[in-house]
A and B are shown apart, each in its own frame.
Chain A
Amino acid sequence: EPEVTQTPSHQVTQMGQEVILHCVPISNHLYFYWYRQILGQKVEFLVSFYNNEISEKSEIFDDQFSVERPDGSNFTLKIRSTKLEDSAMYFCASAGTGARTGELFFGEGSRLTVL
């Protein structure tokens, strides 16, 4: 069964450092997303990406965040200067055009710990 893969599974970084989280969405999907979940809290939308550009973003997705699709398979989330409050599980997700809106496939997540 095709799946969304994310790396690294866990990253520990110092406050102020840059972090890049990597995702390989399902190959024939065209919609890509990043969500985050702070421990014990709900899953929160960060950004959606379609046709090589950001289609929607939340208030959380400020200038410290950026996304890129550097080639035909990878989808990355960059945090330029990490803060303590960026510590969370970051989930990548993808969806195909045939899927009902909201039917997303999530990766297993990348846990980011900022010290």
Chain B
Amino acid sequence: RKEVEQDPGPFNVPEGATVAFNCTYSNSASQSFFWYRQDCRKEPKLLMSVYSSGNEDGRFTAQLNRASQYISLLIRDSKLSDSATYLCVVTPGSARQLTFGSGTQLTVLP
């Protein structure tokens, strides 16, 4: 089983749509959870951390379900500039290294 699994997509949605991405992780000792964003041929950039209580940052909402080992990202009112690959990322235990999922590709269409 992969350490971090994501639906690869691609997700093609119209501007203004709401889109949700899911992610599961296999290591129950994972302690920290993140969504990173990667534009084509660019470096990953931190989008937001994911907390057990759920958290929101503008149009973005992240949820964590530790019991199900499941993470989600919701994007409301999609913009053209949201087109990117969204990477689900966990840290195993207390280590600082990141374990990346393969990413979900999003294209927002005009």
Once the chains are docked, how many angstroms separate the CA of A43 from the CA of B96?
15
Is B43 part of the contact surface with A, judged by Cβ < 8 Å? Answer: yes
Chain A residues in 8 Å Cβ range of B99: 45
Interface of A is mostly: strand
A91–B43 CB distance below 8 A: yes
Is B97 a contact of A33 with CB atoms below 8 Å? yes
The distance from the CB of A17 to the nearest CB of chain B, in whole angstroms, is 24
B residues lining the A interface (CB < 8 Å): 31-34, 38, 41-46, 49, 87, 89-91, 94-103
Q: Which residues of A contact B95 (CB under 8 A)?
A: 48, 56
A108 contacts the other chain (CB 8 A): yes
Name the distance in Å between B41's Cβ and chain A's nearest Cβ. Answer: 8
Task: Take A42-B102, A101-B31 as given contacts and tell me if A56 and B45 are in contact as well, using a CB distance cutoff of 8 Å.
Answer: no
The CA of A56 and the CA of B95, in the complex, are separated in Å by 8
Distance of A103 Cα from B31 Cα, bound (Å):
13
Contact residues of A with B, CB < 8 Å?
31, 33, 35, 41-45, 48, 55-56, 58, 89, 91, 95, 100-109
Chain A residues near B90 (CB-CB < 8 A): 102
Whether the Cβ atoms of A102 and B44 lie closer than 8 Å is: no
Given contacts A48-B96, A102-B89, contact A42 B101 (CB under 8 A): yes
Q: List 30 A-B contacts (CB under 8 A).
A: A33-B97, A35-B98, A42-B87, A42-B100, A42-B101, A43-B38, A43-B44, A43-B87, A43-B100, A44-B100, A45-B98, A48-B97, A56-B96, A58-B97, A101-B32, A101-B91, A101-B94, A101-B96, A102-B33, A102-B49, A102-B89, A102-B90, A102-B91, A103-B34, A103-B49, A104-B46, A104-B98, A105-B46, A107-B43, A109-B42
